[in-house]
């Protein structure tokens, strides 16, 4: 077994980098979705959702950076082209969504997909004894579960 500079199995680390790049790609799609929702939302819930979607895209932008930096820490290269993101997309792409319920459903569907990816990474990072990635995924999961609960409560 070859050990990385971080003291982790290099083969397991390479697998983690691939999975983190999948997460990075999907977070970029999610970021663009909530950015578009922020711009295009209309109706009686405009003020409430306009602010909420800005909160979501600001958070997503921070997470994109954290994921890319984790990939670099693991001695990988973060993906950075839209073609790479599209090729790995599991998060649905929302286009021209301006209705409140449709917008919130897109957030719910997107977060559900991100959670699946994060839970898979958590399993791999646990097996690799990668506490840095474990901690990041645990934090993301806890926060997104709460957001899902709130968005579903909003949907009624």
- Break the chain into its structural domains and give their ranges: 10-155
The CATH number of 10-155, from 1.20.1260.10, 3.20.20.70, 3.40.50.300, 3.30.1380.10, is 1.20.1260.10
Q: For residue 3, what are the contacts with CB-CB under 8 A and spacing of at least 6? A: 9, 10
In order along the chain (156 residues), what is the average pLDDT of each group of 10 residues? Answer: 89 96 98 98 98 98 98 97 96 96 98 98 96 98 98 97
What is the C-alpha to C-alpha distance for residues 91 and 4, in angstroms, rounded to an integer? 32
Interval 51-90: pLDDT, tens: 999 999 999 999 999 999 999 999 999 999 999 999 999 9
Distances (CA, A) of 93 to 36, 81, 109: 10, 16, 10
* R_g over Cα of the chain: 16
User: What is the reported pLDDT for 6?
Assistant: 87
The DSSP symbol for 92 reads P
């Amino acid at each position: 077994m070859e050990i990385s500079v971080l003291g982790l199995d290099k083969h397991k680390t390479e697998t983690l980098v691939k999975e983190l790049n999948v997460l990075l790609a999907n977070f970029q799609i999610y970021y663009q979705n909530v950015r578009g929702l922020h711009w295009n939302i209309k109706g009686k819930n405009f003020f409430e959702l306009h602010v909420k979607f800005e909160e979501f895209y600001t958070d997503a932008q921070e997470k994109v950076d954290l994921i890319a930096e984790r990939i670099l820490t693991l001695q990988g290269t973060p993906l950075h082209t839209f073609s790479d993101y599209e090729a790995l997309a599991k998060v649905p792409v929302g286009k021209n969504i301006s209705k409140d319920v449709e917008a919130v459903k897109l957030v719910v569907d997107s977060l559900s997909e991100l959670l699946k990816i994060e839970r898979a990474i958590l399993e791999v990072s646990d097996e690799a004894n990668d506490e840095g990635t474990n901690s990041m995924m645990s934090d993301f999961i806890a926060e997104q579960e709460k957001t899902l609960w709130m968005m579903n409560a909003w949907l009624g």
